[in-house]
A and B are shown apart, each in its own frame.
Chain A
Amino acid sequence: GDSVTQMEGPVTLSEEAFLTINCTYTATGYPSLFWYVQYPGEGLQLLLKATKADDKGSNKGFEATYRKETTSFHLEKGSVQVSDSAVYFCALSPTDSWGKLQFGAGTQVVVTP
């Protein structure tokens, strides 16, 4: 079945550092890919998405490119802030089951001043 694997955390880095969170997936067909973020005490928020190969999703300085050849959707941000401290979830939506998301385990990111 479909699955998502993302790097384990926690990831601790200093403000203004470069952030990469790796995410790879296994799926049949052409899934849509997402990054969700959960800030402390809040629910999941959609950070960015990509619906087809080579699409680049971007939001709040974060980017991720849908790479079908490597089945990856790595999240990157060039200069993180303390306010980016959160748990980040990579997820896919199967071709025929929009809304039935398959999530990765989540990666906690801690940004220190």
Chain B
Amino acid sequence: DAMVIQNPRYQVTQFGKPVTLSCSQTLNHNVMYWYQQKSSQAPKLLFHYYDKDFNNEADTPDNFQSRRPNTSFCFLDIRSPGLGDAAMYLCATSRDIAGGSSYEQYFGPGTRLTVT
């Protein structure tokens, strides 16, 4: 089945130690998103890739970076995790075409990040 896969499902890192979260998709969608969801809160968009074009949300901290080496994969890098970065990180994809079409987003199961 076509899907959005996130690895690992659970990640523990130390304060200040860089960590990378992975997302892959078999849907061949051209847009990939990263959301941060803290406990009992709504998901919040960090950034997205429209094809190869990176789009950062204005309030996303510089500590968060992303890479998309090809259509199928997208990575979230947290350069120096703080205790406040502990959250569920959700990857999503959509198939958008120029002109404003707005297809629904498909979410992966998420990676729960713990910072010790």
Asked if chains A and B come from one complex, the reply is no
